[in-house]
Amino acid sequence: NLKGSSCIILLEKCISSNVAIRPASSSCPWSPRWNEYFLHHKSWELLQEGGVLPLITKRRNKIGGFVILMQDDERAIFAKFAKSQKEERFPSLLYSVVIYQVLSRADGIFVDIHMESSRSTFYPFHSKHKSTTFSSIHEQVKRRDKDCARNVRSRTNLMTALDRSIVRPNLASFHPNGANQAEDVMRLIKLATCTKRKLRFFNGSSSANDLLCHMTKDYITSDSFQTQAAKLTIDENQVILRYSGSWFIMRVDWYVLSLVCLELKDQVHCEEGRTQCFRHLSFFTVGFIDLYQSDDDLNYNALNLDDTSAGGNEHCGESEIATEIESAHAANFARACYLALRDTLAPITSLQADEVEYALSSCSFTEVLRTFVSVEDLSAHLSSHEQTMTGTKLGAVIGTLLQVVPGSNDEIFFYHGAEIACLDELTTNNTPDDVHDDFIADDVESFSVEQTVEEGETCFPHRPPPDSDNPPLFFRFTLDQKLVSFNEILTLKKSAMLAAQVSVFIQGKKLPPSHAAVVSKLQNALNSFASEQTLEKFRYLGRSLTENDFKVVMGNVTKTKHHSLVMPLEFFISRSSLLVPADNPTGSNENDLDHGFSILMEELDRAAFTVRASHESFLVLDDSASRVVLPYWSFIQVRKPRGCIIVRVHHPLGEAAAQEQAKVTQKLVKSICDKTNQLLLLDSLYSTKNASDLLIPEEEEPTEDKREANSTATYSCPVQHRTAIPLHRRCAPQQAILEVETTILQNFVISNRRSIFVYKDESSSIFYMKLNWNKISDAEDTEQNPHIIELLVHGCDKPGPLITDQLVSLLRRKLLTLTLDALSNLLKKNPFFNLLSSDLAFIKTFSNASNASREVDHSSTLPDCTRTYVLPPHVQDPLILLLMFRQNICGSTFIQHLHHESCSDESDAIQIDEDQGDIGIISFSKLPDFQFYFNSSPSQLDPNYQAMVTLTGKGREYARQAGSGIAIIEVNLQHGNNSKCQIHVGKKADAMNRKLRVSKSDISLCADESAKHHDQFSISVQITNTTVDIDVIHKWVALSLSQVLAAWSIERHLESARLGLLYIEKKECAQNEMINTMSKFTSFNEALPGLQALEDMVTVASGLPHPAIASVE
């Protein structure tokens, strides 16, 4: 259709029929036709790239002026009218046809160009004709085609890195050769449009700038970046057309890509007296259509490499990319600032105010907590710039977690604490195991936490992941909604509401885990500060604390810096005879564990160092603690569900002091826990009569050198009472212990332990006891007691009087009785045994020792130990009478003469006055050799000494009534009230010779009435008793004296009758004549003087009775 053509050229001849088409298959042979030698023809091969053919087709048609003759996926044929330079004189010959064909095959891209030969030129195809039209067209088209193919190849190479970035392999594996990438980048940036942006960096802090640079580079290659991008492996120090740094490739759209260079060199810009540091971010944007340019077409000097504007030449997609990077860079600037401040090796110490302002420009602050700060001291009277005690403490609390950001006018703080595992800590702090716990405060604040941290990660990595919304941890504080600096906090002078605000990127979202963890720590720190103020106030209440006060105190202890430890509990179970952990009850053990817990609580209530705070908590104060002003807070909590005791100690002097006090508390509580198990073991011991190895170990047989086992069980009870009882040398210790165990302690014996006994006293306290004997090391003298019997009472409490008094008294009496029995048996076998002074002392002190070991009512009348008997007046020489008494009483087999070691003194001396060689007067204070002993076990009489037993029926009755034991009888003779007694040997009184009749009173003992019998002899009988009936012994002695007095009187009467000394006074007879009945006795007396008196004496003696007189009817 020629209607629309503006210019029609008429060719002289057609050349298309002479052009051979190159075959599409490489297997088909191809050679030019013979008539093609009349045409200009050139061919060349291009780099095989998929986009070359479409690009050439588009450029040839729209820019080169070629007409498309034929086009498909593999081939394109173009034609063009080329104006000849040498045919200007022939207008009809100005234009020649140029046919251009390009073929894309598997083995390459082939280009063929044909043009008709020039007229009037010899050898037109010779190589010397280089200035022809065809040569110019050939060189230009060939150069453009090859450069285009190279550009496409470079784009393809770089796009390969971009496409592989979707899989996110290691960036170093995108291109094996960074130098090739540099060549590709240099080729493409020649064709690109350059724009620049300034990114803000820190002034003078290389570490912070490096960190910020890494963050920006990581963000560009992260999934959060909205544009597909990849980092090239070009050396950052390599200069490419005056650019060096980190190179990135970005896909702006399907046909447009941008090469981005983040420069590493800091540049300084001064504005309004402030110095700002920045780095260029250069964008080189190139479209696919821009690749068909030749290097010769580019004027390198004309390249606007220093253009920093984002004007009309900037691609719209590139502008959005740059804006996104700038926005992310601002957030990274805040992160880098925060991390640089937290750097432990080389922290940033100075920041400009505009840097802090820029860092906070991407952040907003949200209020996360508030607490009321009470000021109750005299701080209001201080100057405005003077720090207060409350402000200093509050500042110290804040300073434990936060630090002032330099350059922020002391108004911005950053977290400088240790890195923590956020989720673990939040779970630990905000998930109490028991809502009824006394130490769980009611006002614990919970935070909405975004669970984005995987298990094991920390909240504060050195460089946060670029795709995480993890803002820096900057804080600021307000007092009564007014923003304050750190100095204003230190100078706080009135009570106010303190609020903390934390930095976030987006308002209204949940706090990141790092923020929630730090806010929780800050909340705990501020709560700890408020709680410490509360505890300090309650400390001065001392013992006046009420239940509500304790509730407040316990709720505040856990918020402060305190030391806590857990003590697991275990209780002895009698049913299984084992210690069972309290946190793992099984089946029937649950009731037993409940019993253990109840005993534990009772013991904690009874302890002197505990004060009940709640149903399961106690305040523990050691002996050194004041009860008026409490020096510390030490609580124990019995956690029955967990089977443990939790110790919590807060000390005003700090954590070190709290830790030391916790050890003291733990030791005190452990003693209570041990005592609880001891009580359980004692209860089982008493009820089963079987001892556990936990309470009483199995002991070896005691020996002479080792009588008490050294081994102790885990819960052996301490010795609560110890009594040492001396053992007399006459008693063997083994036999004594055996006798005591088989008599007194028989009902308390334990079946599986030897010589161990269990007893429950009047207060229901249970004890176990054992007897040991020890040899006294310094007992060398045979007179001393070489052994002691020791009673050991083991238990948890002090024993009562039933053990300390009654049982000990019973044991003492038993041991005394055993010694007494030993002496009794010894005297029974040998009545002439010479007792040692220790034996005699034992007998003499027996009564006092026995009475001291029992409860004696001293108000009751005690038996009289000494009795005095007055002899009749006619007894003037009682020496023979006493000798007869000794013989008579020793013939009873129960009472024997006492033989013992002589311990005589001056009072025992006898003075003898002789008269012409005969003994005249005997003087003494104490009658010697008149000591006897009563033994309930009678001895056999020595026939050589006395052949006849003087024991009468009355004496046998007294022997039965006297009981068992030994008694010492001491007989002494006295004359009136004189201290010394004088006996006139042979002195006689004839008063009895003149009596017709003898009454009983004449030959009987009289009562001791000193006033009436001041000139008469008296006999004193002193009895030292042990266990016999002293009244019976006195009666027995009195009987023997009466028998002897009667016998002595009869012998004297008979002697007087033989000597004719008997007579009756007339006066007396005259008086008797008045009585008729007396006439008969007078007649007999005249016939046989003294017969009637003898009859009276025999009658009186027979009634005593007397062993030598018998009455027969």
Q: Cβ(208)–Cβ(156) under 8 Å?
A: no
For residue 1070, what pLDDT is reported? 45
- Distances in whole angstroms, Cα of residue 276 to Cα of each of 261, 269, 903: 20, 5, 121
pLDDT in tens, 704-757: 454 444 457 889 999 999 999 888 888 888 988 999 989 999 999 999 988 899
pLDDT digits (tens, 9 = 90+) for 952-988: 888 888 888 888 888 999 998 888 777 788 887 777 7
Span 1068-1100, pLDDT tens digits: 444 444 455 556 656 666 667 777 778 888 888
**Residue 450 confidence (pLDDT):** 38
Instruction: Identify whether the C-beta of residue 365 lies closer than 8 Å to the C-beta of residue 501.
Output: yes
Instruction: Say how far apart CA 476 and CA 404 lie, in whole Å.
Output: 9
Average the pLDDT over 112-131 and give the result: 63
| 19 DSSP assignment | P
Among 787, 769, 770, residue whose Cα is nearest residue 778: 787
Whether residue 649 contacts residue 657, with contact meaning beta carbons closer than 8 Å, is answered with no
Q: How confident is the model at residue 670 (pLDDT cuts 50, 70, 90)?
A: very high
Burial 317-347 (b: 16+ CB within 10 A, else e): bbeebbebbeebbbbbbbbbbbbbbbeeeeb
The pLDDT value given to residue 882: 86
Closest CA relative to residue 611, chosen from 545, 566, 691, 514: 545
Q: How many CA atoms lie within 13 A of 585 on its CB side?
A: 20
Collapsing DSSP to helix, strand or coil, 947 comes out as: coil
1026 pLDDT higher than 70: yes
Q: Say if residues 596 and 672 touch (Cβ distance below 8 Å).
A: no
- Mean pLDDT across the chain, nearest whole number? 79
Residue 432, pLDDT above cutoff 70: no
What is the pLDDT confidence band of residue 122, given thresholds at 50, 70 and 90? low
Task: Indicate the DSSP class of residue 745.
Answer: S
Contact of 979 with 929, CB cutoff 8 Å: no
pLDDT reading at 600 higher than 90: yes
Query: Which element (helix H / strand E) includes 199?
Result: strand 193-201
Token code pair at residue 454 = 């995987």
| pLDDT tops 80 at residue 557 | yes
Distance CA 689, CA 685 (A): 5
- Does this model's pTM top 0.85? My answer is no
Whole-number pLDDT of residue 173? 38
Residue entry with tokens 């604390």 = 545
**Cα 858 to Cα 363: distance, rounded to the nearest angstrom:** 97
Nearest to 267 by CA among 338, 326, 202, 357: 202
Q: Is 683 left (phi over 0), alpha (psi -120 to 50) or beta?
A: alpha
